[in-house]
Amino acid sequence: MAEQTPDAKQFAALSTESAAVVRRQSAWQRVRANWSVRIGGTAMLLLLAIAVLAPVLGTVDPTLFDAASRDLLPGKQGEIVDLDGETLRHTFIMGSDSFGRDIYSRVIYGTRVSLIVGIASALLALSFGICLGLSSGYLRWLDGPLMRVMDGLMSIPGILIAIALLAAWRASLLTVIVAIAIPEIPRVTRLVRSLVLTIREEPYVEAAVSLGTPAWKIMFGHILPNTAAPLVVQATYICAAGILVEAILSFLGVGLPPDIPTWGNIMAEGRVQFNEYPHNVFFPGIFLAVTVLAVNILGDGLRDTLDPKMAKRV
Amino acid sequence: MSAARNEQAQDPVLQVRDLAIALPAGGERAHAVNGVSFEVKRGEILCLVGESGSGKSVIAQAVMGLLPRQLPVAAGGITLAGEDITHAPRSRLRELRATRMAMVFQEPMTALNPVMRCGAQIDEVLVEHTRLDAAARKRRILDILNEVKLPDPERIYAAYPHQLSGGQRQRIVIAMALVLEPALLIADEPTTALDVTTQAQILALIADLQARHGTGVLFITHDFGVVAEIAHRVAVLRLGEMVELGTRDAVLKQPQHAYTKMLIGSVPDLHAHGRPLDAGAPVVLSARGLSKTYVDRGWLSGRREVRAASDVSFDIRRGQTLGIVGESGSGKSTVARCIVRLIDPSGGAVLLAGQDIASMPARRLRPLRRQVQIVFQDPYRSLNPRRTVREAIIEGPLNYGVPRAEADERARKLMELVRMDPGALERYPHQFSGGQRQRICIARALAMEPALLIADEAVSALDVSVQAQVLALLEEIRERLSLAMLFITHDLRVAAQVCDHIAVMSQGRVVEYGPAAQVFGAPQHEYTRALFAAAPGRGFAFGGRA
């Protein structure tokens, strides 16, 4: 061995394999450099700011109505009575509806509902899907029964499940979120399960087994962190779908009560007079479309940067 | 054959002059290849040899006109049979491919369309580039299938790629490349994915066909054994620059450049090392009649049994290395995974410290697990990408209740043992090269203070110079810690260098088992002899051991 050591040193010096640390962009740097992420992310931040700052953006309470200010066209001035009974002069930037409510205020406050429903339903579907998917992928005896239940759930259109659930419960923010999340759970479960099945064959997981790492630590320490990238991407898609489904449910009249400002409710109310006052549907529609587009662009960007393999697959 | 070659030798099929190909800005170096010049004459095989990152495949892509847009030709020129094709339009290159030049890739399965019959795939080339009618095309295809020595060409013509073996698929790819009698054949690691016996046949086939048709061959490989077997002339590449060009015998026997010397010195010799063996060393682990049978019970189909390993017996002694050699599918990795209990054996016994761990329930197995550790083949998948090196190394000790401070200290010492900077502990795996990662994996295994270290093709994915370093490290560790080692490899040269005992496996069975000197010196079993006969470059003494 002793006479081999100088040899080994000489080898190392000549070897083309660089001993220096390989420089590579971190995932975060790649994400930030992506234009889809920048555009979608900026739009989302803007919408979040609108939702948070709704009271100071020149709005009035979105439930206020005034019979004298019914069916105003966008930009018209009118009067509105606030909760203390005082009459205010107010410019109806987006006009008013047939109850004399300010559509601008309702659309701005509607952002809150949409974002909350979208994000919360994505998180809810994700957390249930992760638990079920991990169990299904790791506990082989549970896999068959659990996946058949998921297949059953997936065979019913998601919107029908949501309508049925809301018909059984009283519609509130919580029940709407749950009703939207439940049909998404099977999709997340399938994704997580397939990821677990791939990752558990990776040599580093096998190495952990031979290092005596307990099964639960392998699941949460080795497998789960490596599913993060595709799950983040999936979450954005669920979020977009959740926002849309919430609007559909409100529009159909099975979602949140009509006095709560949601984009779906505004459109449902404006639908009757669409020919005379198209702005009642137009403005919430624009907001809905832009929001869903922003979330999807963000998701596409994240998919391309976090999970190049998935980009090829989709 | 040499007389025939000399007549035509004046006529270069391919000329590459001062070729430089730029890399995108901000990379490790400015050029993928720089100032590379060589020519391939008619009827000549020129081997381009180099380690990963040497730019050898980029040169092949440049000649074929298949360079990605980010890698433009910055300087120099490429001439194919007298025609300058450096900046030829895509349509001209498309014409030239298949008719004048053709390529054979490493992985025959991905080079073929899985949903098209083999005959139809060759037919496509003929339809595109010739005016033959259907009957003539079929005749031509059957001829070429015959020529690449595929049995029963009619059956092969109608077969799908998945119905053929890897070697047969590579023959189809070669047939497809040669069907239009191109002047130049580019073979990019065409035998790397094949077993050694198949490799020998494919190499013989390529040499035979090119001699018969006078084809010039640009043969890209990392394997000096293959070079010794097939090359007429050799070009050695290092980091995109050509360091040496000469005839095979000149380069292999009297290398001039230090890098070539180092590479050739790194190739292990085929003779078993002559280390004295201590026959009285205690047995660390023994396998007795170990077998693993996979049973596939379909709902409708019947019971199918696959015997991955059957009746495997051996002893591994303290301070000694047992090598299991065999081709893919021989069951050698199955045996390793049974011993580590990554899979449960279906029969036989594995005795570790006097206890049978083959069928021990997980709870009782846990304390014994630490005694047997494994290093895997693929350095890029063996480490969790989201954990630092420190976390990877201390995971095992922490599992067995070693206090954190002590585990950290152990990790630091192990990094020194595997010749890495302890400062690297806080970095993530993606910041290291393949060889460095394999060192980290070795450190992770050693952190458990095992009695037996299993290396499952642990150096197979590494470049030859890195492989030599890792092998030297394993040797040193085995000696210093008196480890027992189980070394699983398909590479006879590596086995000869490190193993004290050899078990040769074929189709799940051990066909020959004995001291390395005996197995290498006087192989008894027919299969062992065939395996040795197929090892490329037998005639050359590598490893500077002459």
Which positions 478-507 of B are in contact with A (Cβ < 8 Å)? 479
Lowest average pLDDT, out of A202-211, A294-303, B82-91, B274-283, goes to: B274-283
Q: Which amino acid is at B25?
A: A
Which residues of chain A are at the B interface, by a Cβ-Cβ cutoff of 8 Å?
Answer: 1, 4, 7-8, 10-12, 14-19, 21-22, 24, 202-204, 206-214, 217, 222, 225-226
- Kindly state whether residues B290 and B365 are assigned to the same domain: yes
- Kindly state whether residues B262 and B290 are assigned to the same domain: no
Cβ of residue B262 closer than 8 Å to a chain A Cβ: yes
In angstroms, what CA-CA distances link B201 with B148, B149, B170, B419, B538?
Answer: 10, 10, 11, 40, 15
Q: Of how many residues is chain A composed?
A: 314
- Kindly state whether residues B484 and B522 are assigned to the same domain: yes
With CB atoms and an 8 Å threshold, state whether B396 touches A21: no
Instruction: Looking at the complex, report in whole angstroms how far the Cα of residue B528 sits from the nearest Cα belonging to chain A.
Output: 30
Whole-angstrom distance, CA of residue A112 vs CA of residue A118: 10
In a domain, B322, yes or no: yes
Q: What are phi and psi of B78, to 5 degrees?
A: -125, 125
- Kindly state whether residues B222 and B365 are assigned to the same domain: no
- Kindly state whether residues B170 and B199 are assigned to the same domain: no
Tell me how many domains chain B contains.
3
Is residue B454 within 8 Å of B340, Cβ to Cβ? yes
Position B248 pLDDT exceeds 50? yes
Chain B residues closer than 8 Å to A208 by CB: 384, 395
Domain positions in chain A are: 29-60+110-313
Count CB atoms within 10 A of the CB of residue B82: 9
- Kindly state whether residues B46 and B175 are assigned to the same domain: no
Q: Which amino acid is at A17?
A: E
> Mean of the per-residue pLDDT values for chain B?
88
Q: Which of A14, A16, A22 sits opposite B54 (nearest CB)?
A: A16
Whole-angstrom distance, CA of residue B234 vs CA of residue B246: 6
In a domain, B202, yes or no: yes
User: How many Cα neighbours within 13 Å face the side chain of A192?
Assistant: 32
Which positions 51-110 of B are in contact with A (Cβ < 8 Å)? 51, 53-54
Instruction: Looking at the complex, report in whole angstroms how far the Cα of residue A190 sits from the nearest Cα belonging to chain B.
Output: 23
Token pair 């000649």: residue:
B63
B63: enclosing H helix or E strand: helix B56-64
Q: Which amino acid is at B290?
A: L
Chain B residues closer than 8 Å to A3 by CB: none
A61-76 pLDDT tens trace: 888 887 777 788 888 8
Q: Which are the contacts of B335, defined by CB distance < 8 A and separation ≥ 6? A: B287, B290, B292, B309, B312, B324, B488, B505
In a domain, B543, yes or no: no
- Kindly state whether residues B243 and B308 are assigned to the same domain: no
Position B546 pLDDT exceeds 90? no
What is the per-residue DSSP string for chain A? -GGGHHHHHHHHHH-SS--SPPP---HHHHHHH-HHHHHHHHHHHHHHHHHHTGGGSS---TT---GGGTTPPTTEEEEEE-TTS-EEEEEETT-B-TT--BHHHHHHHHHHHHHHHHHHHHHHHHHHHHHHHHHHHH-HHHHHHHHHHHHHHHTS-HHHHHHHHHHHSPP-HHHHHHHHHHHHHHHHHHHHHHHHHHHTTSHHHHHHHHTT--HHHIIIIIIGGGGHHHHHHHHHHHHHHHHHHHHHHHHHT-SS-TTS--HHHHHHHHHTTTTT-THHHHHHHHHHHHHHHHHHHHHHHHHHHH-HHHHHH-
In a domain, B131, yes or no: yes
Token pair 């025959």: residue:
B108
Task: Report helix, strand or coil for B193.
Answer: coil
Q: Which are the contacts of A265, defined by CB distance < 8 A and separation ≥ 6? A: A110, A250, A251, A255, A256, A258
**Where is the domain boundary, B266, B296, B318?**
B266
Q: Which amino acid is at B79?
A: T
In angstroms, what CA-CA distances link B343 with A73, B183, B294, B371?
Answer: 73, 51, 11, 17
A188-240 pLDDT tens trace: 999 999 999 999 889 999 999 999 898 889 988 899 888 888 898 899 999 99
pLDDT score for A171: 85
In a domain, B405, yes or no: no
Task: Report helix, strand or coil for B319.
Answer: coil
With CB atoms and an 8 Å threshold, state whether A222 touches B383: no
- Kindly state whether residues B76 and B169 are assigned to the same domain: no
Q: Which of B392, B390, B357, B389 is nearest to B372 (CA)?
A: B357
In a domain, B34, yes or no: yes
State what percent of residues in chain B have pLDDT above 90.
Answer: 48
- B347-352 and B452-456 beta bridge pairing: unpaired
Q: Which are the contacts of B169, defined by CB distance < 8 A and separation ≥ 6? A: B108, B109, B112, B161
Instruction: Looking at the complex, report in whole angstroms how far the Cα of residue A136 sits from the nearest Cα belonging to chain B.
Output: 20
The strands making up B101-104's β-sheet, listed across from edge to edge, are B101-104, B184-188, B216-221, B45-49, B233-238, B241-247
For domain A29-60+110-313, is the CATH number 3.40.50.300? no
Which CATH number goes with the domain that contains B241?
A: 3.40.50.300
Position B67 pLDDT exceeds 80? yes
Is residue B452 within 8 Å of B375, Cβ to Cβ? no
Site from B222, B371, B378, B395 to mutate, A interface, most A CB atoms within 10 angstroms? B395
In angstroms, what CA-CA distances link B473 with B136, B416, B418, B434?
Answer: 60, 12, 7, 15
The interface pTM score, or ipTM, of the predicted complex is 0.80
pLDDT score for A8: 47
B100-151 pLDDT tens trace: 899 998 887 788 999 999 999 999 999 988 899 999 999 999 999 999 989 8
- Kindly state whether residues B198 and B53 are assigned to the same domain: yes
Token pair 């509607």: residue:
A110
Instruction: Looking at the complex, report in whole angstroms how far the Cα of residue A228 sits from the nearest Cα belonging to chain B.
Output: 11
- Kindly state whether residues B361 and B456 are assigned to the same domain: yes
In a domain, B50, yes or no: yes
Q: Which are the contacts of A97, defined by CB distance < 8 A and separation ≥ 6? A: A70, A71, A103, A106, A266, A269, A270, A277, A280
In angstroms, what CA-CA distances link A24 with B27, B430, B461?
Answer: 10, 8, 22
Q: Which are the contacts of A203, defined by CB distance < 8 A and separation ≥ 6? A: B376, B377, B378, B381, B382
| Helix and strand counts by DSSP (H, E) for chain B | 21, 20
pTM of the entire predicted model = 0.81
Instruction: Looking at the complex, report in whole angstroms how far the Cα of residue A299 sits from the nearest Cα belonging to chain B.
Output: 22
Position B306 pLDDT exceeds 70? yes
B276-305 pLDDT tens trace: 778 788 999 999 999 999 887 766 666 778
With CB atoms and an 8 Å threshold, state whether A17 touches B435: yes
- The whole domain housing B366 covers 283-371+450-534
Whole-angstrom distance, CA of residue B502 vs CA of residue B494: 12
B387-406 pLDDT tens trace: 899 999 999 999 999 999 99
Is residue B312 within 8 Å of B348, Cβ to Cβ? yes
B199-210 pLDDT tens trace: 999 999 999 998
Cβ of residue B467 closer than 8 Å to a chain A Cβ: no
- Kindly state whether residues B239 and B144 are assigned to the same domain: no
pLDDT score for B398: 93
Chain B residues closer than 8 Å to A19 by CB: 433, 436
Is residue B186 within 8 Å of B65, Cβ to Cβ? no
Whole-angstrom distance, CA of residue B515 vs CA of residue B279: 11
pLDDT band at residue A15 using 50, 70 and 90 as cut-offs = low
- Kindly state whether residues B30 and B76 are assigned to the same domain: yes
**Where is the domain boundary, B266, B298, B318?**
B266
